[in-house]
Amino acid sequence: MTVFCCSMVTSPAVYASTTDDTFKESRELRKSAAKTLDEINEYASQLDDTERALTLVSEADGGNLKKRYESFSSELEKLQKAQSHATSEIDRMKKTGAEYFSSWDKANARIADVELRETAARRRARVMEKHRDMADRVSAIGIQLQPFMSNLRDLKEFLGSDLSRENTARANEVIRESQDEAYALRDRISDVQTMLKQFLKETPE
């Protein structure tokens, strides 16, 4: 009898703890999504600055080539830092999302009423599917950054090894390809920015 009574007394506390954990994970996910959006915004802005600096290198004459190359190198260094921050936040958001949905699942499992439990499970499934789509697109951006950044670093090394007008002219085709890739990347980033903003709008603070 004593064991039974103890169980009846502690169960509400267990339920409250589970619910509190879910609320906490929800807040953490929202915070992580907001930070991810900030870092992606920073990367997108720095991407524009870097591409402008690269364009100026391709248009430079002999007198200002060194100065413009140094500007491009500086902007690329900032872009690499922005990439590191963005990919780190993307990974953190994915981890936080997994923890949130795991906590939500545990909370649903404690609902005794079958109809309420099934309703909660369907709600979780819909939200999880939307979040998974957003997380997949955000992750795809992180993956696409790698080869793009590698190409920019190659251009930096190629031009830096022989900083001349002739060598810059040889790199013009690769520079144009980099610009085309940047435009395409910006479009994909814009889609992700829109999804993250919508997610934050729909998620309570």
Task: Tokens for 47, please give them.
Answer: 């991407």
Residue recorded with tokens 């290198």: 57
Stated pTM of the model: 0.80
**Residue 82 to residue 64: CA distance in whole angstroms:** 27
Domains of the chain: 34-88+131-202 (1.20.120)
Express each pLDDT in 46-58 by its tens digit. 999 999 999 999 9
Q: How many C-alpha atoms does 155 have within 13 Å on its Cβ side?
A: 31
Express each pLDDT in 122-173 by its tens digit. 988 888 888 888 888 888 888 888 888 999 999 999 999 999 989 999 999 9
pLDDT band at 20 (very low <50, low <70, confident <90, very high): low
